[in-house]
Amino acid sequence: MGALAAAIAVGLAALGAGVGNGLIVSRTVEGIARQPELKGSLQTTMFIGVGLVEAMPIIAVVIALMVM
Amino acid sequence: MTEYESMAARQRKWMFYLLAILVLGAGFTPYLTIFLGLLLGSAVSLYNLWLLQKKIVDFTGAVAEKQPVKGIGTMSRFAAAALVVIIALRFDEYFNVIAVLIGLMTSYLVITLDFAVSHFKKK
């Protein structure tokens, strides 16, 4: 059961990270394609967004490995 | 140096300062397992930060030049976090697992604080 719990935890965390990263990346790609001169500020926004989105799934991976 | 490059260099600098403080803590305090755990987690956190910075530069550069894009390295960062936890669980007489988890989160703390400080400095 521990392995199942770990798998569900990591799977749901990866799902959340995928949706969050997908939203951020799609908007950034749209923005850069429209206005390439804004690449610098969009890079910063994307970096902070992706960084914050990925914090929770990494905690989930760690906790899943701990309970396994 | 662009705004992004200066921000990335600043964040890496703060991570190195933090790692230096943790080395001093491991060397001169009696809380060895806690500081070693924090050190291990922070080292991998620095790797994750560097990878995220590099991948975002590569990704946005490829989008701007209309080249085929690769991923942003999410799975590599998850794998690094999993590896460090496996190491901490395997050698639990040397590393405190909760300290490793806290150490893994230090780069996100640095990103948030750096963004907040630079944002309020601009105003």
Q: What pTM value is reported for the model? A: 0.91
DSSP chain B: --HHHHHHHHHHHHHHHHHHHHHHHHHHSS-HHHHHHHHHHHHHHHHHHHHHHHHHHHHHHHHHTTPPP----HHHHHHHHHHHHHHHHHTTTT--HHHHHHHHTHHHHHHHHHHHHHHHHH-
Tens of pLDDT along A40-56?
Answer: 888 999 999 999 899 99
Q: Which one of A32, A36, A61 has the shortest CB-CB distance to B82?
A: A61
Q: What is the pLDDT of residue B123?
A: 73
Residues B25, B31, B33: CA angle, nearest 5 degrees: 100
- The vertex-B35 CA angle with A59 and B117, nearest 5°, equals 65
For residue B10, the Cα-to-chain-centroid distance in whole angstroms is: 13
Mean pLDDT, to the nearest integer, of B86-108?
A: 93
φ, ψ at B92 (rounded to 5°) = -75, -10
Query: Cβ-count burial of A16 within 10 angstroms (0-12 exposed, 13-18 middle, 19+ buried)?
Result: middle
A18-48 pLDDT tens trace: 999 999 999 999 998 888 888 888 899 999 9
Q: What is the mean pLDDT of residues B57-65?
A: 88
Token representation of residue B77? 């960062």
Cβ distance B81 to A62 less than 8 Å, yes or no, reads yes
- The nearest CA of chain A is from the CA of B63 a distance in Å of 7
Give the Cα-Cα-Cα angle B7, B12, B15 (nearest 5 degrees). Answer: 130
Q: What's the Cα-to-Cα distance from A34 to each of A28, A30, A42, B63, B119, rounded to whole Å?
A: 10, 6, 12, 11, 25
pLDDT given for residue B89 in this prediction: 92
Tell me how far the alpha carbon of residue B19 is from its chain's centroid: 10
d(CA A68, nearest CA chain B) in Å = 11
Per the structure, the count of domains in chain B is 1
For residue B13, the enclosing domain spans 3-122
